Amino acid sequence: MSLTNEKITIMYNKMVTARLLEEMLHEMFSEHMLHGTTHLGIGQEASGIGACMTLRDGDKATLTHRNHVQCIGLGMNVKYLLAEMFGKETGTNSGLGGSMHLMDLKNGNLGANGIVGGGLGLALGAAFKMHYHKEENVVMCFLGDGATNEGLFHEALNLASIKNLPVVFFVENNHYAVSMNTSRSMKVTDIGQRANAYGIRSIILDGNDAIDVYNMTFSAVQYVREGNGPILIESKTYRVAGHSKSDVKQLYRSQEEVDAWVAKDPIKRLEEYILKNNIANSEMLKEINTRVMDEIREAVLFAQNSLDPSADILNKHIYAK
C-alpha cells in the first residue's frame, strides 16, 4: 500500500501523540506523580510509528522497554496506556504490568519487555504459529542496538533464518545502550552487517525520516509476507531524552551531539514534508496538535480518576484456567 496523503496525516497525528504523551510523562515523573521508571522515545517517533503503520490485520509486534512510540504506532488508546502507567485497574494490563510491560493483544501488540531482547522469543513463536498455520502475516520484532549484543539475538536470527519464519527484525539503532555508544559495543559499523551471518537480508534506513521508514519498511514487510523468510532493518536514529528517568547527568555524551540530532527532529521533518507537498497547511497541523493535547489531558484525568486494582486481582492472573 503506497503512502497516501491520508496515511501521512495519520502518521503525523500518531507521532505528535507519542511526542506530547512522552513530554507529559516526563513532566509527571519529574513531579513524582508516577511510580516506577520509564524510557522515553523522544526523537525516535518516525522509526516506531513508521514501522508499525506498515502492518495489517493479523500481523503482530513485540516491543522494547522503550515502547510508548511503538504502542501508539500499533493503535493503543492513550487512556488505557496512561491508566497502566498510573497502575490503575483500567490500564491495559490492569495495573499489573506498568511502563515496561504495556500490552494490547487485540491490536497485535504482544507486549513491551523489561528484558533487553526479551521479545525475540515471543516474536519467533508468533511467527512460527503463522508459519505453522500458513497464515500470510508477519511479526515485527522491535529491538534496540544494545539488544543485538545479547546471545538470544544470535540464536533467534539463526533459527528464524533456517525455519524461514516471517519476522521483521526492526532494530532501532539510537546509538546508545544506556551509556554505551555503538562504537564501543561492536566493531562493525552497521548492525545490518550482522544479518549476513545468518543468510538474512538487511536494510539500513534513516530512522528520522518517517516517509523513508514507512516506504522501506513496507517493502521489507512485503518481502517477508511473501514467504522469503526474515529480514533485518536497521533504523538509524537517536535517543534525545535520557535513557530512563534516572539518567540525569548524561556524562557519556556531549550536548553538541544531542543538538545535532535534535536538528534532525523527525516530527519537524515530517511537518516540512507535509507543507512542501501540500498535504496539509500549518493551520491543520496546529489543529492536530491541539486536538492531541486535549486527548492526552483527558486521558490523564481518566487515569487519575480510575481505581487502584484491588488485592484479589493478584491471584486471578498468575495461572490460566
Ligand X SMILES: Cc1ncc(C[n+]2csc(CCOP(=O)(O)OP(=O)(O)O)c2C)c(N)n1
The DSSP line for 77-143 is: -HHHHHHHHTT-TTSTTTTSS-GGG--BGGGTB----SSTTTHHHHHHHHHHHHHHTT----EEEEE
**Sites for ligand X among residues 89-128 (CB under 6 A):** 114-116
Query: Could you say which of 14, 19, 60, 66 contacts ligand X (CB under 6 A)?
Result: 66
Query: What residues numbered 6-35 form the site for its own copies, per CB under 8 A?
Result: none
Pairing mode, strands 231-236 and 167-173: parallel
| Cell numbers given for 197 | 551471518
How many Å apart are CA 216 and CA 203, to the nearest integer? 8
Among 151, 276, 283, 310, binds its own copies (CB under 8 A): 151
Stretch that binds ligand X, among 176-184, 217-225, 266-274, 310-318 (CB under 6 A): 176-184
313 contact choice in another protein, ligand X, its own copies, none (CB below 5 to 8 Å, kind-dependent) = another protein
Residue 235 half-sphere exposure toward CB, CA atoms < 13 A = 36
Q: Among the candidate windows 9-17, 78-86, 169-177, 179-187, which touches its own copies by CB under 8 A?
A: 179-187
Residue 74 CB burial class (10 angstroms; 0-12, 13-18, ≥19): buried
Q: Which helix (H) or strand (E) holds 177?
A: strand 176-177
Under rule CB under 6 A, residue 245 binds ligand X = no
Lookup: cell for 140: 515485527
Q: 175 or 269, CB closer to another protein?
A: 175
Which of 4, 5, 179, 196 is in the footprint of its own copies by CB under 8 A?
Answer: 196
Question: 34, 177, 299, 303: which one contacts ligand X (CB under 6 A)?
Answer: 177
Contact segment (CB under 8 A) with its own copies among 15-23, 32-40, 148-156, 296-304 equals 148-156
Judged by CB under 6 A, the residue of 14, 65, 88, 194 near ligand X is: 65
Residue 84 binds Mg ion (CB under 5 A): no
Task: Confirm or reject binding of residue 307 to its own copies (CB under 8 A).
Answer: no
Whether the CA torsion 225, 227, 230, 234 is positive or negative: it is: negative
Q: What separation in angstroms does the CA of 207 have from each of 105, 120, 210? A: 26, 21, 7
**Residue indicated by cell numbers 493483544:** 105
194 binds its own copies (CB under 8 A): yes
Q: Which is nearer to ligand X, 244 or 306 (CB)?
A: 244
Q: What is the number of alpha carbons within 13 Å of residue 272 lying toward its C-beta?
A: 10
Q: Does 19 bind ligand X (CB under 6 A)?
A: no
Cell numbers for 321, please give them. 484456567
How many residues belong to the site for ligand X (CB under 6 A)? 17
- Residue 188, contacted partner among another protein, its own copies, ligand X, none, CB below 5-8 A by kind: its own copies
Work out whether 146 is an interface residue with ligand X (CB under 6 A). yes
Q: Report strand pairing: 176-177 vs 180-181.
A: antiparallel
Q: Which of 41, 144, 166, 207 binds Mg ion (CB under 5 A)?
A: 144
C-alpha distances out from residue 68 to 17, 81, 95, 139, 249, Å:
10, 8, 16, 18, 23
| 174 near ligand X, judged by CB under 6 A | yes
The residues of the shown chain that bind its own copies, judged by CB under 8 A, are 149-155, 158, 161-162, 184-188, 193-194, 196-200
Q: Which residues bind Mg ion (CB under 5 A)?
A: 144-146, 174, 176-177
Binding footprint of ligand X on the chain (CB under 6 A):
39, 64-66, 114-116, 144-147, 174, 176-178, 239, 243
